[in-house]
Structure 1
Amino acid sequence: MKTYLLIIVIILSALTLRAQTTCTDILKQAQRNFDEGKLDEIPQMIEPCMKDGFTNEEKMNAYKLLIQTYLFNEKPEQADQVMIRFLKEFPSYEIAVNDPTEFINLHKTYRTEPIFRIDINAGLNYSMPSVTEVFGPGNLNLSSISYKSMLGFNLGVNYTDRIYKDFDIVVGVNFSIYNIDYSDFQYDYTTVTGSFKSMFVGFPLAANYNLNLGNIRIITRLGVETTYLLSSKMDFTKSFRSGENPIKSNEDIKSCFKQLDFKPTISLGFPFKLSKYEILPTIGFKFSTISPLKDRLKYPIESGVYYKYNFAPANMLMNQFFFTVSFMKPIYNPQKIK
């Protein structure tokens, strides 16, 4: 059975190679006919190979040859029909320096920019807590409370649409996990350590400016992201210097914080093409504007973990550095513009 399958594969491969070789020869002959001014037979020669007889590069050259043929034969409608086929199959094509002048001139009469883009992005964030007020049991001068930055994770989807010349509007939805390290060396006999893990959903609204510097393209983005706190938990460990077994637990502290925040955002992206898609590495910064701690919880005694860990959450702004990589899918709808 395996022998038969192998034979079939070899035969199909040979037939495919033969068909491609034959179509390659036909394209060369059609080009010679064009150079000699024998235009009438060119469409009949090329069209049978357009479905699966050419490589991508040959197919692009065949389209260009067809367009030139129809234009020289004063058949602009047929040339337009072929150009539409070309742009639907190769929507992200960029004019090359050696492209025929007739092809270039016709190409300029079509809308070739994407009408919008959809992207999926993922990356890392680095939370930078800026503590404005510390709370805790007893005399805070005898404690050493600190909050340290840690890495988190981002995942999102964005919709980008061109609004004017080089300006885009961007809307989307993001899911983020923020992590912060906590430690408090309490008195002379206990130490409390832990890590915050907070999950947010965000709704960014931003404007892009597309800056082209030769072959380098830079996307500058300025906007605001409305975030909503989905969960906030903390892994506590209370250690005793006397050698007693430590106390550990995971505590839900979401009720301590406000759910909404509005984060101004600025970023720089450096897109590049990968086949029919675009990859967009981005670095940026989000500014926290609202102190998240609820007013009624600005006293240690009101925190649910006060007695167990001598803990009360601090008031802080949660600024954030982030790095993401976006996989962008441009959506095209080529149309005649003049």
Structure 2
Amino acid sequence: MLLLTTAFAQDKCDPESTLALATDEFNAGHFYGLEAILKPCISNKTFTKEQLVRAYQLLTQTYLILENPAAAEESYLNLLSANPEYVSNPERDPIDVVYLSKKFTATPIFSWFAHASGNITLPRVIEDNEINVGSRQQYTIKPRWSAGGGVIWNYNDKLTAELGLDFSSNTFGYYEDEIFIDDNLTMTENQLSLQMPFSIKYTHVRQGLSPYGYAGISGSLLLSSNQSFLLVDRTPGATASEGLEQSSEFELNNRFRRDAINRAAHIGAGFRWKYKLDYLFVDLRYSFGLNNIVRNDNSVRDVNDIFPSSVSAFKAGYIDDYFRLDQAMITIGYIKPIYKPRKLKRARTTRGVLKDVKSKSNE
């Protein structure tokens, strides 16, 4: 026995041979030499994650048999560090190991996530500020993007609270035709903002794809907003070839015409799936703007609070409607749980364990 222990207590080791020897020694009741057999491979980090779990399983059982509860607890914590999702099983593990496992958990308290999204912005008109009577107006949508991340607080496996911070690029268009019968106007607004969504999420945990749904609120800080205009002015002639057409283009920084702080409520749903110890996810979200984003005191004023002839109201015959901004998003992302193996202040119930034991004894 001493010769075998000495042979394996060296700097290098064969992981599978070491585990096979340790298992044979355990089955033979030779418990005192197991630590010396396994220690070289553990210290040199030669074991794979799966092999390390098997090694700490043997050590945990050994220390329980030798009535060394402190060492058994330390070994079980090391086991959870190697595989945070390890769950003891009464059909596989000795009952004393199952009872010991109820004192510990590796369930993450916090996780972090990162994501990238495609979005479309949809103005929802509260009041139409029409200048050109008889013209036709419509808003148009254009795809843009956002990216960000955040932190997740895990109340349990199913219920979580999430706080994010996103950098978002948004755009929407406005088209008006039949202005004085023949003219038309195209406007595009581009915005950059920081958004901070807070969500409560419920996940139906299962093997493979786990669906989830969530709802929440968000605040956003508008960083910039710019409008570009294209006005087409047509003068009809006796024939189509005799008509004149002139177009003018200009841009306007309209950040001062928008509220800097805006609010929204959102709902969403998606799926997550396991990737090693982490998660990948895809979801759809719809955000409902809660406030009018247009500052009515600056509808026809410039940043210096005067009425210049070059602003959109005079040059293109355009004044902002009062509107909220809705947003639809499709998101792909990555969740990294922060596993923390630890001893519980209060052991989990062993009712299920007792039930399994009784059912076996009745067979």
- TM-score bucket (shorter structure): 0.7 to 0.9
CA–CA distance in 1 between the matches of 2:251 and 2:87? 56
AA partner of residue 64 (structure 2):
L
1:310 to 309, 314, 317: 317
CA–CA distance in 1 between the matches of 2:207 and 2:81? 26
CA RMSD of aligned residues (A): 2.8
AA partner of residue 323 (structure 1):
I
Post-superposition shift, 1:95?
Answer: 5.2
1:24-173 equivalences under 5 Å are: 24-50=16-42, 51-94=44-87, 99-101=92-94, 102-139=96-133, 141=134, 143-163=135-155, 166-173=158-165
CA–CA distance in 2 between the matches of 1:114 and 1:243? 70
What do residues 147-196 of structure 1 show as CA deviations (whole Å, max 9, x unaligned)? 11222222222222234784333223222222112212233443222321
CA–CA distance in 2 between the matches of 1:96 and 1:217? 23
Post-superposition shift, 1:286?
Answer: 0.9
Post-superposition shift, 1:281?
Answer: 2.0
Cα pair distance change 1:299/1:250, threshold 3 Å: closer
Q: Is 1:288 matched with 2:289?
A: yes
> For the Cα contact (< 8 Å) 2:200–2:214, is it kept in 1?
yes
> For the Cα contact (< 8 Å) 1:256–1:313, is it kept in 2?
no
Corresponding residue of 1:236: 229
Post-superposition shift, 1:45?
Answer: 1.0
AA partner of residue 41 (structure 1):
G
Cα pair distance change 1:248/1:95, threshold 3 Å: farther
> For the Cα contact (< 8 Å) 1:219–1:268, is it kept in 2?
yes
Post-superposition shift, 1:275?
Answer: 2.4
Post-superposition shift, 1:98?
Answer: 6.9
1:166-205 equivalences under 5 Å are: 166-185=158-177, 186-205=179-198
CA–CA distance in 2 between the matches of 1:305 and 1:52? 69
> For the Cα contact (< 8 Å) 2:49–2:82, is it kept in 1?
no
> For the Cα contact (< 8 Å) 1:136–1:310, is it kept in 2?
no
1:220 match: secondary structure? strand
> For the Cα contact (< 8 Å) 2:213–2:270, is it kept in 1?
yes
Deviates more, 1:166-175 or 1:283-292: 166-175
Cα pair distance change 1:197/1:208, threshold 3 Å: same
Cα pair distance change 1:164/1:327, threshold 3 Å: closer
Cα pair distance change 1:97/1:254, threshold 3 Å: farther
AA partner of residue 273 (structure 2):
F
Post-superposition shift, 1:316?
Answer: 1.9
What do residues 54-80 of structure 1 show as CA deviations (whole Å, max 9, x unaligned)? 222222211212212222222221111
AA partner of residue 257 (structure 2):
C
CA–CA distance in 2 between the matches of 1:25 and 1:100? 22
1:145 match: secondary structure? strand
1:74 match: secondary structure? coil
Post-superposition shift, 1:225?
Answer: 0.4
1:246-257 equivalences under 5 Å are: 246-257=247-258
Q: Is 1:224 matched with 2:217?
A: yes
> For the Cα contact (< 8 Å) 2:283–2:330, is it kept in 1?
yes
Q: Which 5+ residue runs of structure 1 have no aligned equivalent?
A: 1-18
2:204 match: secondary structure? strand
CA–CA distance in 2 between the matches of 1:104 and 1:270? 32
1:212 to 205, 211, 218: 205
> For the Cα contact (< 8 Å) 2:172–2:188, is it kept in 1?
yes
Cα pair distance change 1:307/1:66, threshold 3 Å: same
Q: Which has the larger radius of gyration?
A: 2
Cα pair distance change 1:148/1:96, threshold 3 Å: farther
- Structure 2 length normalisation: TM-score? 0.78
Post-superposition shift, 1:224?
Answer: 0.8
CA–CA distance in 2 between the matches of 1:98 and 1:40? 26
Q: Is 1:332 matched with 2:333?
A: no
Q: How many residue pairs end up in the alignment?
A: 318
> For the Cα contact (< 8 Å) 1:116–1:330, is it kept in 2?
yes
1:71 match: secondary structure? helix
- Structure 1 length normalisation: TM-score? 0.83
Post-superposition shift, 1:81?
Answer: 1.0
1:246 match: secondary structure? strand
Post-superposition shift, 1:94?
Answer: 4.9
